[in-house]
Amino acid sequence: MAPSRESTKVLIVGGGGTMGSSTALHLIRAGYPPSNITVLDVYPIPSLQSAGYDLNKIMSIRLRNGPDLQLSLEALDMWRNDPLFKPFFHNVGMLDCSSTEGGIASLRRKHQALIDANVGLEQTNIWLESEDDILAKAPHFTREQIKGWKGLFCGDGGWLAAAKAINAIGTFLKSQGVKFGFGSAGTFKRPLFAADGTTCNGVETVDGTEYYADKVVLAAGAWSPTLVDLEDQCVSKAWVFAHIQLTPQESSQYKDVPVVYDGEYGFFFEPNEHGVIKVCDEFPGFSRFKQHRPYGATSPKLISVPRSHAKHPTDTYPDASEETIRKAIARFMPRFRDKQLFNRSMCWCTDTADANLLICEHPRWKNFILATGDSGHSFKLLPNIGKHVVELIEGSLPQDLASAWRWRPGGDALRSTRGAPAKDLAEMPGWKHDAKL
Ligand code: FSA
């Protein structure tokens, strides 16, 4: 007999981030008593070191993997209609553009994949062939600036106020009486096992607290492969961003502009309510390999270990990033090329080899469930991903999702589906970090 929702206790490690908070939310929506749900995280929700702790993330429909169509459509519906998520979706559109032959060819393939999905996506995902087409969607550009550009406009896209959305989940969880453990009482040390040695029945945190539960969900994002041995299925990588400050007058000219993304340069978002624009460059990420022994490994091994800006606020980013972020600004907003950059920071994600999520029960630890492997494209799934983690907990995850998200060692997560393998931060001049911190 399946265990009842009323009596099943669930622990969520990394519950202050994207996948963990969504899981807690969906447990409550499925009828699990909030007092049977415990969220553990290094930081209070929204966790400062979650990739989702950000001004904004991109929303668009991109079909990279089998499950993407279903997941994106579910997410879009919830960002549009679910009262909890609706306030955080800024449906200003997303303009994916390029001026190179290869880039344009790749955009055409993306467009075709959307048409081939056969669910009417061609109505909102529009090919922009001419400069006039682009200027109609993005009048803040000059004709000169967009010479040679072609674009794919996603009318279902835009941006998501990321940290605010996780915060809204956190506020709801607290109001419902979910239990929390933060700081050393929320930092994972090891799983606990029943007398059989293979059935997980809880977690010990670094302060020595033992939490017991029927199901343990590890949703620690880029920290997941440092906590338990994932057999090289996930490689954690950092992406960088910086902010620029606009005057109120400048800001009003950029209000409601679509997110603009060029795979060879990067992307930027409209200014927030304080006139701050986030700019990112695009590249295959930075790893940070060191000898480290996650729980379950028989000896230390090379693992890319994230290092958060939250914990190490004086860390810088590589000189090369400064250059490429400036290049992106010069490309997208040449009038702001001399603006000061601030809040330079890194955002840690974890790639799998095929860029599918890793959402499955551990093959040897019964009741220990992984919900990780974001591969850099998962924030948009905040509203719905937890529903599928709950399905996995209950043994009802549809076969196609279970197969895509299965435990699957092998493959090259360092490269993943990107243009090149990640370079290591240790090789990047300018990346300074105080070892004492
Ligand atoms: O469209 C999206 O899913 C947003 S991806 C944003 C990004 O910064 C990537 O550009 C980067 O390559 C990495 O995957 C982290 O996320």
Is residue 432 within 8 Å of residue 319, measured between CB atoms?
Answer: no
Q: What is the pLDDT of residue 436?
A: 42
Ligand 1 atom 7: residue of nearest CA: 376
Tell me what percent of the residues of the chain surpass a pLDDT of 70. 99
H/E run at residue 354: none
Distance of CA 98 to the CA centre of its chain: 24
Q: Is the CB of 376 under 6 A from ligand 1?
A: yes
Residue 138 placed within a domain: no
Among protein residues, the one with the nearest Cα to ligand 1's atom 10 is 282
125 lies in a domain?
no
Residue 259, strand partner residues: 94
The number of the ligand 1 atom at minimal distance from the alpha carbon of 349 is: 15
Contact 14, 219 (CB under 8 A): yes
**What average pLDDT does the segment 177-191 reach?**
98
CATH assignment at residue 213: 3.30.9.10
Residue 117 lies in a domain: no
Task: Dump pLDDT digits (tens) for 56-72.
Answer: 999 999 999 999 999 99
For the complex shown, is ipTM > 0.85? yes
User: For the chain, how long is the longest CA-to-CA vector?
Assistant: 71
Residue 434 has pLDDT above 90, yes or no: no
In a domain, 29, yes or no: yes
**Pocket perturbation via mutation, ligand 1, pick of 239, 414, 417 by most ligand atoms within 8 A of CB:** 239
Tens of pLDDT, residue by residue over 383-403, are: 999 999 999 999 999 999 999
**Domain presence at residue 239:** yes
Q: Identify the pLDDT of residue 433.
A: 72
Q: Please write the tens of the pLDDT for every residue from 32-89.
A: 999 999 999 999 999 999 999 999 999 999 999 999 999 999 999 999 999 999 999 9
Contact assessment for residue 240 and residue 325, using Cβ atoms and an 8 Å cutoff: yes
Q: Which helix (H) or strand (E) holds 385?
A: helix 385-393
Q: In what helix (H) or strand (E) does residue 102 lie, and over which residues does it extend?
A: helix 101-116
Q: Give the CA count within 13 Å in the CB-facing half-sphere of 69.
A: 12
Q: Residue 437 — pLDDT band, cuts 50, 70, 90?
A: very low
CB < 8 Å & 24+ apart, contacts of 377-380: 377/62, 377/64, 378/18, 378/19, 379/18, 379/51, 379/52, 379/54, 379/57, 379/160, 379/162, 380/57, 380/58, 380/59, 380/60, 380/72, 380/75, 380/79, 380/160
Model confidence band, residue 2 (pLDDT cutoffs 50, 70, 90) = low
Distance 268 CA to ligand 1 centre (A): 12
The pLDDT of residue 3 is 76
Let me know if residue 209 belongs to a domain: yes
Question: What whole-number distance in Å separates Cα of residue 172 and Cα of residue 11?
Answer: 17
Rounded to whole angstroms, the Cα distance separating 27 from 132 reads 48
Cβ 60 under 6 angstroms from ligand 1 = yes
Count: domains in the chain:
1
CA distance linking residue 413 with residue 151, whole number of Å: 29
The per-residue pLDDT of the chain, averaged, comes to 96
Measured on CA atoms in the order 224, 229, 233, 237, is the torsion positive or negative?
positive
Instruction: Render pLDDT for 297-332 as a digit per residue (tens, 0 to 9).
Output: 999 999 999 999 999 999 999 999 999 999 999 999
Whether residue 266 has its Cβ less than 6 Å from ligand 1: no
d(Cα 199, Cα 395) in Å, to the nearest integer? 16
Residue burial 122-134, b: 16+ Cβ < 10 Å; e: rest: eeebbbbeebebb
Residue 46: cis peptide before it, omega within 30 degrees of 0: yes
Closest atom of ligand 1 relative to the 60 alpha carbon? 1
Give the ligand 1 atom nearest the CA of 375: 14
Q: In 160-177, which positions are buried (b, 16+ CB within 10 angstroms) versus exposed (e)?
A: bbbbebbbbbbebbeeee
pLDDT number for residue 39: 98
Residue at 123 is within a domain: no
The ligand 1 atom at the shortest distance from the C-alpha of residue 379 is 3
**Chain centroid offset of residue 421 CA:** 19
Residues 6 or more apart in contact with residue 142 via CB below 8 angstroms: none
Beta-strand ranges (E) seen in 282-351 are 286-287, 289-292, 301-304, 342-351
Residue 41 lies in a domain: yes
Which residues constitute the domain of residue 245? 10-93+156-427
Average pLDDT over residues 211-238: 98
Sign of CA dihedral 378, 381, 384, 386: positive
Give the phi and the psi of residue 88 in degrees, each rounded to 5.
-105, 0
- CB contact at 8 A, 46 and 20: no
Backbone angles phi, psi at 364, to 5 degrees: -120, -10
Closest residue (by CA) to atom 13 of ligand 1?
376
pLDDT at 1: 55
**How many angstroms separate the alpha carbon of residue 377 from the centre of ligand 1?**
5
